[in-house]
Amino acid sequence: MPDAPLELGELSFSDWYAHTDKMAEVGFLTIARRLPSLVGQAMRMAWGASPRDTLATIALNLLGGVFTAFGLLATTGVLTALFSEGPTPERVVAALPSLALVAGAAVVRTMTQAGAGWAQSRLTPQIARLTEERLYGLTSRVQLVSYDDPEFHDALERAGARGVATADSVVSSAINVVTATVGLAAAAGVLGVLHPVLLPLLLLAVLPDAWAAVRSARMRYSTMYSLVPARRRKWIIADLLAQRESAAEVRSFTMRGFLLRMYDAVATAEQEVMLRLAKRQMLTRVAGEAMGGLGTAMVYVALGLLLALAAIPLAVAGTAVLVIRSGQTSLSNLMYATNRLYEEGLYFTDFLEFCADAERRLVGPRQAAVPEGFTRIVAEEVTFTYPGAEEPALRDVSVVIERGEVIAFVGENGSGKTTLAKILSGLYEPDGGAVRWDDTDVKEMDPDALRLRTAVIAQDHTRWPLTARYNITMGTDKGEPALHAAAAVAGADEVVAELPHGYRTLLDRRFKDGQELSGGQWQRIAVARGFHRAADLLICDEPTAALDARAEHALFERVRDHSEGRTVLLITHRLASVRYADRIYVLDHGKVAEQGDHDTLMSLNGLYADLYTLQASAYR
């Protein structure tokens, strides 16, 4: 039904516009009060990125303001000479020295401004690199459980979505605030030198423009705030029309017309709002210019009165006009830069607060060494609760893993199998109880050193947009024999043999010459990744989920054949695969319900026997 009303659903704010409501409500005086703090934060960030470029930017901007003031004062000499009595050639000659000073000041000011711009443009990429490295350096070091904390995840979204992107804008806006303030101070200083009475004339000339600029900006912010949900919906629809992930279904379900109709409805509504905004801003500018014209007229009247009363000479009055014009430009720049600095500062504060929180989540220095070729891993009365969860994922769980054993964790979804495996490998730390590798508590070991001794083959493995080689080696360099041996064990060598460039093939079709693999092929690459690690503890978490029956059987045969001297922890729902495990732990609602080998558990006629019999019956 092409004419049926569209259900656009609930529209919510994106992280990119998380603070737009604050900008729509806050007044300019509030912004001004926070200005020193924001400028200080920005300057510290800039100094950390490049002290030399920061110092050069500030110094050259200040120097530019000094020469601006000097040039305006020198203009008085030019006008005095030109307005003096005598023949025109003589007046021009008399004005030449002052004119030379004006020209020299203009040249030096231009050079300093160019130098400041160059230094500032050098700062931008350095700040971007510094903030990105700080963010990703922290996100890759915080404890893994942080990613299960909703508050941490939300803070990360805000910091990553716009916090990082605004860091260089905050610094640029802060520098622009300083530059505009210097220019305004230079204009005020020159007027004060020329005659103290001229200072109020500067306010009279610039305030109407400032009012119009602030009011127009408020209108735009309020409008943008109201449009955020609609624009978010429009972006989502645009992605559906243009992204590879949805392209097949858009065509197979003939969604093109429907999506375009939805896009047009949202875009038309947005267009009408923007047209109304343009009209309101135009009226505001007209009102501001009208009041500005009135103010300028009053300035000229005041200057005329001062001239009539012989309070100032004509040359000073002419210079005052130039100075007031310069002050108007500086104030306009200051209004814009201040507004922008406050807005960007809100998002930049999100970034700073996230970094402070992330640093509190880092693991401190740990000195205990990971045992070489452990003899036993023991978990004693382990309890663990995910952040924000009401019930523990594990309750007083105790397990023992001897070196060289094949241990299996089985149980229904949500029983705690994967959580326990992550605790044993040091990815999570238990809330209660302890995990020991031999006699050393995992909490006393360096996390990175422990992770080098473990390897994980996960069901939800990452499909890295890297070459086949790096997808297996993960950045380590153990040589060609190790690479080929790991690939052969997993059957990944057969996958690589079909790739056009072998191990140098990029496994991502979004890039030129990139290739895409099937789910089963990716699974083999992930298994090879785990074997290449050659770790003391190999954790296989549903390693055959994407494999067909033949490939699954072959993989488990290879795991058994190549597990000598290596401890294997197998997590799976396919109980036929764990019959030959040395010991099987059956977890149920976060507790160890049963343990033993296959025959022992079947004789108990408990949960394991029930699950095994249920699966086996499907094949009869």
pLDDT tens-digit map of 509-568: 878 888 888 888 888 898 888 888 878 888 888 776 656 666 666 766 776 666 666 788
Q: Which of 94-98, 150-154, 439-443 is most confident?
A: 439-443
- Separation between Cα atoms, residue 256 and residue 250, nearest integer Å: 6
What local confidence, expressed as pLDDT, does residue 57 receive?
87
What local confidence, expressed as pLDDT, does residue 16 receive?
44
The answer on pLDDT for 311 being more than 80 is no
The answer on pLDDT for 105 being more than 50 is yes
What local confidence, expressed as pLDDT, does residue 224 receive?
66
What's the pLDDT band for 198 if we cut at 50, 70, 90? confident
Instruction: State CA 186 to chain mean position distance.
Output: 39
The answer on pLDDT for 8 being more than 60 is no
Query: What is the three-class DSSP state of 402?
Result: strand
- Separation between Cα atoms, residue 491 and residue 495, nearest integer Å: 7
Q: Render pLDDT for 271-310 as a digit per residue (tens, 0 to 9).
A: 888 888 888 888 887 887 787 777 777 777 777 777 777 7
Least-confidence region, from 97-111, 379-393, 558-572: 558-572
The answer on pLDDT for 399 being more than 90 is yes
The answer on pLDDT for 428 being more than 50 is yes
Contact by Cβ (8 Å): 382, 394: yes
What local confidence, expressed as pLDDT, does residue 292 receive?
72
Q: What is the mean pLDDT of residues 36-53?
A: 84
What local confidence, expressed as pLDDT, does residue 29 receive?
63
User: Which CATH fold would you assign to the domain 15-358?
Assistant: ABC transporter transmembrane region fold (1.20.1560)
Number of H helices, E strands in the chain: 19, 10
Mean per-residue pLDDT of the chain: 80
Q: What is the mean pLDDT of residues 457-464?
A: 82
Q: What pTM does this model have?
A: 0.70
Q: Indicate the pairing of strand 406-410 with strand 567-571.
A: parallel
Q: What is the mean pLDDT of residues 323-329?
A: 77
**For residue 455, how many C-alpha atoms fall within 13 Å in the half-sphere facing its CB?**
22
Nearest CA to 193 out of 96, 72, 278 is that of 72
Domain spanning 376-617, CATH class: alpha beta
Helix, strand, coil fractions of the chain, as percent rounded to 5: 65, 10, 25
What local confidence, expressed as pLDDT, does residue 460 receive?
77
**Burial classification of residue 443, based on how many CB atoms lie within 10 Å of its CB (0-12 exposed, 13-18 middle, 19 or more buried):** middle
The answer on pLDDT for 17 being more than 50 is no
Q: Which tokens in the block code for residue 430?
A: 């238990």
Contact by Cβ (8 Å): 304, 57: no
What's the pLDDT band for 382 if we cut at 50, 70, 90? very high
What local confidence, expressed as pLDDT, does residue 30 receive?
65
For the chain, the structural domain boundaries read 15-358, 376-617
Percent of the chain with pLDDT over 90: 9
Q: Which residue has the higher pLDDT, 488 or 204?
A: 488
What local confidence, expressed as pLDDT, does residue 75 receive?
75
Nearest CA to 220 out of 340, 380, 55 is that of 340
Q: Indicate the pairing of strand 537-541 with strand 567-571.
A: parallel
Contact by Cβ (8 Å): 175, 118: no
What's the pLDDT band for 390 if we cut at 50, 70, 90? confident
- Separation between Cα atoms, residue 544 and residue 458, nearest integer Å: 9
Query: What is the three-class DSSP state of 65?
Result: helix
φ, ψ of residue 454 in degrees (nearest 5): -125, 155
The answer on pLDDT for 225 being more than 70 is no
